[in-house]
Amino acid sequence: MTVADFYKIVRRMIAAIGDLHLSTYLPPEFIAWQSRKGFFLPFDITYARGKAYVSANHSKEPALVTGSELVGLNGQSIELLTSYLFDYIIADHNRKTTKYNTLSHHFPQYYHAYYDQPEWFEVEIVSGGKRKTVQVKAVSWSEIEQNRLRQAVPPRPISPFQVMHSHKPLSSQFFPDESTAVLQIKSFSDALIRRNGQVYERFIDSTFGEIAKRRIQHLIIDIRGNRGGSSGNGAYLFSHLTAHPFTVNQSMEAKSIPVKYWDFSDVKDSEGKPVVLREEDFTRTKQGTYQIKEYSTLKPVNPKANHFANQV
């Protein structure tokens, strides 16, 4: 069995669990070799309402017009291909929205890794109301990346103000004429935020203090690309947006005590000490599970005094 074959088995098993905190990766050497030697589907696709559309053409075939609907590849319908690739995409509760979003960004890679690696593609598309089949040659990943750079165009302004790009995980902008603020949170990871010279709670407090001072009426919170991070940071943000106390989790429970995998974990508390699970920390439920008595995310969180009460 090859590394790639074994990886497919493990990846499908991990994806079936439906927990985005779990993942598995190919060895870096294999990925580097794949990028150098592999040949891929020569266009990007974007999903909308369950259908796939050509969003960028990296081939020399002019018939692959941007916006064409992709209906088949090498004799296989896009519906069956999508369903097949879904089995290898890790998503919380196996949400289809997450899986569609993943394929919209990485369809050529997923097709190459989990389905097939042909030298040529027979592509069925619908363009201008007409169904047609075109033959396109697979291309190297470097060629795809070069073509993306050539096709890149600066974004068109879509509002009276233009949000400035920041390399920092946390940034904010204020537009007095529109009484609008934009809060960008690229990550909730404390480690990543600290590496960029920022402190999450201090930044959030300062930003909402400025929002109150400027009497901002409209707040845009931009979390595009944010994959999560440290526990509590989402709740800390929400405490600036609500007038009512809330809890993050209503309950947390385990099927058995002791939790068998816990000895192999490195979960630590806020002081950096290993978290120990003891039977006396749990209550046995009528269903036979064990519900934890105390945990940080079970405690009520109070709203901040200067919480934002206008339009988000």
Matching residue, tokens 């509760």: 93
**Quick one: which of 119, 45, 56, 122 has its CA closest to 82?**
45
pLDDT, tens digit, 9 for 90 and up, residues 189-203:
999 999 999 999 999
CB 82 within 8 A of CB 45: no
Residue 30, C-beta contacts closer than 8 angstroms, at least 6 positions apart: 3, 4
Hey, what are 298's tokens? 């079970």
Tell me the residue range of the domain where 81 lies.
Answer: 3-151
One domain for residues 95 and 202: no
DSSP code of 274?
B
Residue 97, C-beta contacts closer than 8 angstroms, at least 6 positions apart: none
pLDDT at 294: 84
One domain for residues 8 and 119: yes
Our separate counts of H helices and E strands in the chain read 8, 14
The answer to whether residue 158 scores a pLDDT higher than 60 is: no
CB 108 within 8 A of CB 40: yes
pLDDT at 264: 73
CATH of the domain at 127: 2.30.42.10
One domain for residues 126 and 33: yes
Rounded distance, CA 22 to CA 16, Å? Answer: 11
pLDDT, tens digit, 9 for 90 and up, residues 22-75:
888 888 888 888 878 889 999 999 999 999 999 999 998 888 899 999 999 999
Type of residue found at 96: K
User: Based on the structure, what is the number of domains in the chain?
Assistant: 3
In a domain, 228, yes or no: yes
One domain for residues 112 and 41: yes
9-18, 99-108, 247-256, 302-311, range with the lowest pLDDT: 247-256
pLDDT at 160: 61
In a domain, 46, yes or no: yes
In a domain, 127, yes or no: yes
Average pLDDT, the chain: 89
One domain for residues 127 and 176: no
One domain for residues 230 and 257: no
pLDDT, tens digit, 9 for 90 and up, residues 112-136:
999 999 999 999 999 988 999 999 9
One domain for residues 129 and 202: no
Rounded distance, CA 49 to CA 53, Å? Answer: 11
One domain for residues 43 and 177: no
pLDDT, tens digit, 9 for 90 and up, residues 206-222:
999 999 999 999 999 99
Average pLDDT of 262-285? 76
Domain endpoint, select from 124, 151, 178: 151
In a domain, 270, yes or no: yes
One domain for residues 15 and 133: yes
pTM for this entry: 0.72
Domain endpoint, select from 91, 117, 151: 151
In a domain, 26, yes or no: yes
One domain for residues 133 and 20: yes
Residue 95, C-beta contacts closer than 8 angstroms, at least 6 positions apart: none
One domain for residues 209 and 290: no
The answer to whether residue 176 scores a pLDDT higher than 70 is: yes
In a domain, 303, yes or no: no
In a domain, 159, yes or no: no
CB 231 within 8 A of CB 295: no
One domain for residues 232 and 262: no
**Quick one: which of 106, 108, 85, 107 has its CA closest to 96?**
85
In a domain, 187, yes or no: yes
DSSP 210-249: HHHHTT--EEEEE-TT---BSTTHHHHHHTTT-SS-B-S-
Going by pLDDT thresholds of 50, 70 and 90, the confidence category of residue 159 is low
